[in-house]
Structures are given as structure tokens and as C-alpha cells.
Amino acid sequence: MAAPHLTRRELNRATLARQLLLERSALPITASIEHLVGLQAQTPHTAYTGLWSRLEDFDPLALSDLLVERRVVRLALMRGTIHMVSARDAWGLRPLVQPVLDRVQKSQFSKRLAGVDLDDVARVGQAFVDEAPRTFRALGDHLLMRWPGRDRFALEQTVRTAVPLVQVPPRGLWGRSGPVAHTSIEAWLGTPPTGALTLDTMVRRYLGAFGPASIRDAQAWCGLTRLAEVFERLRPELVIFRDDTGRELFDLPDAPRPGPRTPAPPRFLYDFDNVLLSHADRTRMVSAEAAIAIRPVTQEPVSTFTLDGFVAGTWRIERDPARRSAVLVLRPIGEPSATDVASLVDEGGRLLAFAAADSAERSVRVQRF
């Protein structure tokens, strides 16, 4: 029997539903982070916007408290990038994605440390960061004392690869800043929970947060390769679809798949929002034309907004500390309708009230590309 067909709009609505972007969720913060299998979070504060767009009555200080209480942490996971995850998922996910970090280490850094015992580097580095959280500069200085004249960056990255390093507060706390200091997951979280997370469970959770999806989509999300055997193992318990190109898509039987006409309110996505980074084929969220329009022209990351569920422009907040003012600058692609602009400006006003609550003057400005 031929697999049912899913259109681009149907994929869009399914993904928005999984990502809590069709309507805000009442899930607790930790439960929502686990449902989303973490949020990419190498910028210290923008993931807060990601949760604000997804949760009812989101309190950023409550998330800060979870970081301080060590119930939520930030460390290198999927794609080798910093993710904000629950403590439980930090323990469970890191061993599964370790091959991604090992691959980068082997291709970029190992040759630069020829003749050095990399296991010894990891042991010395972990002992140093376990004494107290350290910046990479301090870690590099310490390692160079043992291996003088060697490649500082390669030494630091050897430790980052071999040792799960947690970025500790105050880095990442709402309204605060601090050095990018690290300690090991063992030093920060103590004894790991019993029961290891499996690849099969990780793939099921990926589908629950990002499906329906192809094998290549799942690999793009986590950075692992050769997941076909996992999907084949799971095939009897999954449902199968085909997209507009005939590509095979997998999904959980009971996962939400709203109809293509389901209303999708405007949403503000942050600069590294996983909903835009977790598929090999991103057209379910970003058209080819929109991808070109929002392509960054500088090193500054770009934040986007959606209209009718699809990326439709970029946004940024311009602050003037002297005047205590904040302006949300919206740059829509093309010519959105007056109704769309009005709903976007309305949601933008709420975003400003959240992200620039300390500004006495707040306004929204629409600026064309």
C-alpha cells in the first residue's frame, strides 16, 4: 500500500504543533524543554525568547532559578553546539551524540597535537575544571604549562570533546552576565541517574518534537550519521508518509498532525531556534525565497518571525540606554497584508514587554528589506 502523502503545509502545521508554536502550552518549563529535546543556546539569553513564544505566562526568572538549582544546564550536545536541556537529558543525550564531537576532534584537532596523549590531556583538563569552574583561557594556560609550545586551541578542544563541560551560572541567567566558565557534568550534577537513554528512544523523541521527518532530517538535527538502522528497527511501530518529493517520512502514530488550514498565529523565533535547524529539508518552515532573503550578511545572528506558520521576515530590538527606549524593528519579506502586519505588531508589542521590560519607551517599527 502506498504511503499517504503530506503536503508542505501539512508538514508545517505538524511541526508547529510539536514545537508548541500553534498555541502556547501550559507545560512546566522543565517538561517543555524535555519535550523539545532541548533548545540550542550558544547565545546566553535568546533561548528565553524561544520559551516565551511557546509557553503561557513564561517567567524568565523561573528558568534562571532552574539553572542555578542545576535542574537545567547548558552544554555541547546535538551538532556539537551548546544546548539548554534538563539535567536528566544532559546525562542521557551526551553519550549518544559523543561521536559527533569525536568526529570534529579527529578531523580538526588531533593532527595538531601529534605525539600528545589525548587521554592524558582530558584527565589533566578535567581535574582542573573539577577544582573550580574555569574559562577556556584559564584551561588553556593550565594545559600549556604541561604541554608548552603546543596548539592552545587544540588542547582546549580536546578537553571539550572528551569531557562533558557544563557552562555554569551566572552565564545564561536572565538579565545577568558572567564569564564563560565550565566544569564537568560530574562535578556539577553529581551521580548520574540510572538507566541510559538509547538511540531508539532519542529518535522517538525527535519525531515527537520535530516529525514527521526523514532519516536525513534526524541526522541533520543531531549530527549523527547512519541512523537508517535505527529507523528500520523502529519501522513496525511508526507510521510512514511521503512528502511532495516522494521522500519517506516517519512519525509516531499518535503525534498531532493538524490540518493544513489550521490557523497559525505570528511567532517570534530566536536566532538559533531549533525549529529552523533540525531538518535536512527546511522548506516546511522556510521557503527557498525566504532563505535567501534572511541570509545573514554579517557575523551577527538573525532572528526571524513567522506569518501563517512560515518564516516571513526578520526582527531585532534596538536599545537606547540613555533614553531608556527599545524599538522592535520588523523587516517583512514581500508585502504582507494589513491584517498580518497588525497581528505581527500586536505580538511584537508583547515581545517588547517581555524582552525590554526595563525600557520606559517601547515601540514597533516596520522596515522593508
**Mean pLDDT, the chain, integer:** 95
pLDDT of 1 > 80? The answer is no
Q: What confidence score (pLDDT) does residue 35 get?
A: 98
Regarding pTM above 0.85, the answer is: yes
Residue type, 303: S
CA–CA distance, 311 with 154 (Å, rounded to integer): 38
φ, ψ dihedrals at 304, nearest 5°: -130, 165
Residue with cell 587544540: 154
Q: What pLDDT does residue 88 have?
A: 97
Tell the residue number behind the cell numbers 550578511, with chain if given: 297
Indicate if the pLDDT at residue 299 is higher than 80: no
**Contact predicate 36/209, CB 8 Å:** yes
Contact call for residues 315 and 328 (beta carbons, < 8 A): yes
For residue 55, pLDDT over 70 is answered with yes
The beta strands (E) that lie in the chain are given as 39-40, 72-76, 82-86, 134-135, 165-167, 181-184, 239-242, 248-251, 267-269, 303-307, 310-320, 325-332, 361-366
Write the DSSP assignment of 300-311 as a string of letters. S--EEEEETTEE
- Position 323 scores a pLDDT of 83
CA–CA distances in Å: residue 347 to residues 156, 310, 319, 367: 43, 16, 19, 16
The answer to whether the beta carbons of residues 268 and 53 sit under 8 Å apart is: yes
With both helix axes pointing from N to C terminus, report the angle between 199-210 and 87-104 in degrees, rounded to the nearest 10: 100
The span from the CA of 351 to the CA of 122, in Å, is 43
Q: In whole angstroms, what is the distance from residue 100 CA to residue 162 CA?
A: 11
- Return d(Cα 216, Cα 223) in angstroms, integer: 10
Residue type, 345: V
Q: What is the pLDDT of residue 369?
A: 67
Handedness of CA 358, 53, 60, 330 (dihedral sign): negative
Percent of the chain with pLDDT over 90: 90
Distance CA 180, CA 100 (A): 22
Output the nine-digit C-alpha cell for 100. Answer: 559527533
Question: CA–CA separation, 315 vs 328, rounded Å?
Answer: 7
314 in helix, strand or coil? strand
pLDDT grade, residue 154 (50/70/90)?
Answer: very high
Q: How far apart are CA 84 and CA 40, in angstroms?
A: 6
Average pLDDT over residues 21-39: 98
Q: Which residues pair with 76 in a beta bridge?
A: 82
Give the list of residues 6+ apart from residue 209 with CB closer than 8 angstroms, or none: 18, 19, 35, 36, 37
Q: Mutual orientation of helices 152-162 and 87-104 as an angle, nearest 10°?
A: 140
Query: Which contacts of 287-290 are long-range, i.e. CB under 8 A and separated by 24 or more positions?
Result: 287/311, 289/333, 290/333
pLDDT in tens, 179-237: 999 999 999 999 998 888 999 999 999 999 999 999 999 999 999 999 999 999 999 99
pLDDT digit string, tens, across residues 329-352 = 999 998 999 999 999 999 999 999
Backbone angles phi and psi of 308, in degrees to 5: 55, 35
Identify the CA nearest to 47 among candidates 205, 171, 161.
Answer: 171
